[in-house]
Amino acid sequence: MVHLRIVAPVATAPAVLDHLEGCGAVVINVIHLPGAARRPDGDVIMCDVAREEASNVLADLRAMHVDRDGSIALEYVDAAISDAADTAAAAAAGSPVDAVIWEDVGENTSESAELSGVFLTFMVLATVLAAVGIFLDSPILIVGAMVVGPEFGPIAGVCVALVQGRPRLALASARALAVGFPLGISAVVLASLAFKATGVTPAEFSEADHGLSTTIASPDFFAFFVAFCAGIAGMLSLTTAKSGALIGVLISVTTIPASANVGVAAAYGDWPAFRGSAAQLAINIAAKVTAEAARCAEHPEDHPGDERRSDEREDAGDDLLSFEAQTVRTECENGAEGKRHPDRETNSEPDTLDDVMPTDLDDVGDQDADDEGCFEAFAQADEEVCEHCDLF
């Protein structure tokens, strides 16, 4: 189950409630708190939605501009103990394991794809650790560096942006990769030169004594195949919130070791190893992007429930406008009814001219006096209202 906390404007809240209640058994525990929200102001509406239908419900709410005029927050329910929750899960189309909440995926990839100081720090640390693992020919250190590496987030961001048509996310992700990898390689070059100058590492780098470096600098078909499989597994882990599988993905891709080997080879002037490692890096990135984009395209934003409720989504905005128009029309009718003469019925006939009596001049004067008295009464009432307001 997915818990939604919605802040809807007062004018929109009734339509939102009607829509949630009209979703059937897949939406449960609907709670309405009128006027409880501030910044933005409005009604608070909470509900639990079957995971398979969460993206559909969120799309409906966005079609009603709730995300623009109010706010929507979602969180996962670890355990829902009720027959209603079981009924909701059974009523939703598909399996909860296969359900993808694209709003959540987009938010996560946007955060992890951002170029920040933390991202660059992790890139430098990961590549330097991988370089030490290459010097010591230690698989453990290289695996640890692969786990530390943060490059999966921007690569996933590029794939999600390509499939969903989000140029800003694609640009942010590409910028993170374009800055992160060169910075990590530069850090390895400087560290390698420092190690060689201080005698920590030998003056000559022999590939015969560093088998891992030779493997990294020799890309082949299996390099592409492993990266492609890891890309599919990584996107599957991201879209299904299976974070445990993501660790295996990180230690299956050679992006961080390849970038570290590029830096080591550049520091020692080993240009064949430099070219081989650069090719390994390019192959891994290309394979991951291809696989992750294919995974996103295979599982688009449309879900099985969309076909069943597509008409509701298309008419969500029309329903809201119809509700507001009905509200305005009712208020106008009530106002007109209040102005109707109390002595007349709804379908009463107009007065005939025979009922109109001629008025004498003396009567006019008396009526003027009466009218002045009425106006004086209105003035006194206004003064009393003003005095009452002054008390506050």
Phi, psi for 153 (deg, rounded to 5): -60, -55
* Residues 6 or more apart in contact with residue 337 via CB below 8 angstroms: none
pLDDT tens per residue across span 260-308: 999 999 999 999 999 999 999 999 999 988 887 876 665 555 444 444 4
Pairing of strands 27-37, 71-76: unpaired
Cis peptide, bond prior to residue 40, ω within 30 of zero: yes
Q: Which of 212, 71, 29, 79 is nearest to 135 (CA)?
A: 212
pLDDT at 237 over 60: yes
User: CA 306 to CA 132: how far, in whole Å?
Assistant: 52
Q: Which of 265, 317, 293 is nearest to 130 (CA)?
A: 265
Q: Quick one: 374 exposed, middle or buried, by C-beta within 10 A (0-12, 13-18, 19+)?
A: exposed
Q: Quick one: 68 exposed, middle or buried, by C-beta within 10 A (0-12, 13-18, 19+)?
A: exposed
* Residues 6 or more apart in contact with residue 141 via CB below 8 angstroms: 129, 130, 132, 133
Are the beta carbons of 278 and 220 closer than 8 angstroms?
no
SS (H, E, C) the chain: CEEEEEEECCCCHHHHHHHHHHCHHHEEEEEEEEEEECCCCEEEEEEEECHHHHHHHHHHHHHCCHHHHCEEEEEECCCCCCHHHHHHHHHCCCCCCCCCCHHHHHHHHHHHCCCCHHHHHHHHHHHHHHHHHHHHCCHHHHHHHHHHCCCHHHHHHHHHHHHHCCHHHHHHHHHHHHHHHHHHHHHHHHHHHHHHHCCCCCCCCCHHHCHHHHHHCCCCHHHHHHHHHHHHHHHHHHHCCCHHHHHHHHCCCCHHHHHHHHHHHHHHCCHHHHHHHHHHHHHHHHHHHHHHHHHHHHCCCCCHHHHHHHHHHHCHHHHHHHHHHHHHHHHHHHHHHHHCCCCCCCCCCCCCHHHCCCCCHHHHHHHHHHHHHHHHHHHHHHHHHHHHHHCC
- Local confidence band at 387 (pLDDT 50, 70, 90 cut-offs): very low
- Tokens 């909440």 belong to 101
pLDDT value of position 317 = 46
pLDDT at 95 over 90: no
Residues paired with residue 27 on neighbouring β-strands, in sequence order: 49
Alpha-carbon dihedral sign for residues 304, 305, 306, 308: positive
pLDDT tens per residue across span 163-183: 778 888 889 999 999 999 999
Least confident range of 5-19, 60-74, 169-183, 223-237: 223-237
Q: Quick one: 335 exposed, middle or buried, by C-beta within 10 A (0-12, 13-18, 19+)?
A: exposed
* Residues 6 or more apart in contact with residue 332 via CB below 8 angstroms: none
Q: Which of 68, 60, 69 is nearest to 17 (CA)?
A: 60
Q: What is the mean pLDDT of the chain?
A: 78
- Tokens 């690569």 belong to 155
pLDDT tens per residue across span 298-357: 555 544 444 444 444 444 445 544 544 454 454 445 554 444 444 444 444 444 444 444
pLDDT value of position 250 = 65
Phi, psi for 137 (deg, rounded to 5): 55, 45
User: Region 211-230: what's the mean pLDDT?
Assistant: 90
pLDDT value of position 274 = 94
Write down the pTM of the prediction. 0.67
